[in-house]
Amino acid sequence: MTSRINTRGQVGKVLANKTGGLKVQNENLARPPLPGKAAASSFLRDTTNKVLGLKRKADGAPDEEKATKKRSAFGDITNAIEKKINDGKKVTAQKGRLMRSASTKSLVKPLSKPAAAKDKVPAKTAKPEVSAPEVKTQAKEISFCDSLPSSQDTIFSSQESKTDLDDSAAYVTASEGSPVKAVEKAPVVEPEPVSKLPEGVEDYDKEMENDPFAVSLYAQDIFEYYKGRESNFVIDKYIDRQPDVSRSMRAILIDWMVEVQESFELNHETLYLAVKIIDLYLAKTVIKRDVLQLVGSTAMFIACKFDERTPPYVDDFLYICDDAYKRKELIEMEIKILKIIGFDLGIPLSYRFLRRYARCAKVSMEDLTLTRYILEMSLMDYELLDASDSALAAAALLLTRIIRGDSTWTPTLQYYSGYNMEDIYHLVHHLHQMISQPPKEHLKTIRNKYSHKVFFEVAKIPIPETLNI
C-alpha cells in the first residue's frame, strides 16, 4: 500500500490546508521514501539516527554470568532422615526393632542369639514388619523397657506393637509416610452441570473449554466486566470547547493514525486505544491546533507501550511528525496525557467486543472483515463519540448481516452481546448512512486499506440504499 507518510511533511501540509496549519520544521531536509511494512520501523529508526546524529547500542548480556545456587524451597529438612530427641540422642527405625544409642544400653538387655529368639516365636505368628510410624519417643521407650523382665529378650509381638505404639503414630515425619490405619474416604458424587443458556443459544465457551488460550471458564465474566467499565469512560462532545480544533481536523488526524498503524504493522487494538486516549484528553484539556499532531503521535506511543510486544521508539514517532516536535516535547506530552486520563488504560474497545461476538456466532472471516471496515470508519465519525463500544460493535455486525442479505439477530448474538435488535436499531441506521456517503479526497486511507485483496476488498462491496429491517 502506498503510504502518505512517504512524502515528507505530507500530514502537516494536509492538516495545514484544512485547519490553518501545523508547525513543520526543516523544509529543506530531504527524506528518502518510507519502505514497506516489514522494514518500516527499522528504516525509520536508522534514518532518524543518521539525521539526528543519535547512536543506539543494544544492551549485551554480561560476560560472566554465574549460575544461581540451587537450594530447596524450605532449606535442608533433616527430620526426614532421623529424629532428634531433647537430650541430643538419635533413634532410628529399622525393620521393626528399636536400635538405641549408647545411653540406653544399660536399660535394655541385648538381644539373644537369633536362632533362640526365632524358636520362641510361634509358627502361626510371623514376626511383623513394624512400619516407621511406630517409632516411639525416648520417654515412652524407657518406661516400657523398665517394665520388662531382664531375663527376657526384647521381642515385640504383632499385638504388642499395635497397642503400645498407637500413641506415637500421630507423630509422622516426611520419611515415615502415612499412619498404619488408612481412613477410607467416601466416594464423592459430582452433580451433573445444569445448562443456564437460553434455548437456541450455542454454548461457545463449552466447546472451547479444552483450549487454554480461550479461557472459556472466565470469558463471559471478563466481557461482562468490560461492559460494566464502559460507564467510567463516557466521552462527551467536546468540539464546542475547543476553539482551535474542528471535526474535520479530528477526522484527518485519525486518518493519518490509520496510516501509521499500517506502516508500523501495529495491532488494531493499538489504533482504537490511541483514538480513545485522544478523545479522553481533548474532552478535558483545551489545546492549540499546532500541537494536535503531537497529541495524536503521543497517544499512539502510549497505546503501543500498552498493547505491543515491541513498540516503536520515540525517534520513530518524531520522524513521522516530520521532526516538527522535539523529544522533550513528546515526553512531556506523554506525562501530561497520562495524568489527565488518570493512568487508566484499561478502556473497553469496540474492536475487542467485535471479536467476542464474531467468535461466539462463528462469523466467517469475510463478514468479520466487512464489520471491521465499518467499525474502523466509525472512528472518524464525531457523532459516534459518546456511543457505547459494545453496542457499536453489535450494530456494525448486524449491519454486515443485513448487507449480506440476512437481517436476523440470532439468539446466540443476542445472548453474548446483551443487546436486542431494538437496542441497536438507531446505531445501525447511522452506520449505514456513514458508509453510504462518497469518500472524501483527504480521508481515503481506510477505504484504500480495505480495498486490498488481503482484506477481501470489502470496501468495494455495494451498499444497499435502504435497510430491510
What are the structural domain ranges in the chain? 1-26+235-347, 97-155, 349-460
Distances 313 to 55, 240, 267, 318 between C-alpha atoms, Å: 13, 34, 16, 9
Residue located via cell numbers 451498499: 463
Distances 226 to 7, 33, 73, 220, 222 between C-alpha atoms, Å: 40, 41, 39, 10, 6
Spell out where 345-426 has E strands.
none
User: pTM for the complete prediction?
Assistant: 0.61
Distances 250 to 15, 282, 462 between C-alpha atoms, Å: 10, 10, 27
What is the DSSP code string of 246-274? -HHHHHHHHHHHHHHHHHTT--HHHHHHH
Q: What is the pLDDT of residue 196?
A: 78
- Report the CATH fold assignment for 1-26+235-347: Cyclin A; domain 1 (1.10.472)
Q: What is the pLDDT of residue 188?
A: 66
Out of 1.10.472.10, 1.10.10.10, 2.40.160.10, 3.40.47.10, the CATH code matching 349-460 is 1.10.472.10
**Per residue in 382-397, pLDDT tens?**
999 999 999 999 999 9
What the block records as the C-alpha cell of 276 is 480513545
Q: What is the pLDDT of residue 428?
A: 97
Distance CA 54, CA 1 (A): 30
**Per residue in 330-383, pLDDT tens?**
999 999 999 999 999 999 999 999 999 999 999 999 999 999 999 999 999 999
Domains 1-26+235-347 and 349-460 share a fold: yes
Cα 457–360–403 angle (5° rounding)?
35
Measured in whole angstroms, the distance separating CA 299 from the mean position of its chain's CA atoms is 21
Distance CA 113, CA 177 (A): 32
Q: Encode 33-69: b = buried (16+ Cβ within 10 Å), e = exposed.
A: ebbeeeebbebbbebbeeeeeeeeeeeeeeeeeeeee
**Residue 377 half-sphere exposure toward CB, CA atoms < 13 A:** 25
Q: What is the pLDDT of residue 159?
A: 47
Low-confidence ranges of the chain (pLDDT < 70): 1-195
Helix (H) or strand (E) holding 99: strand 97-99
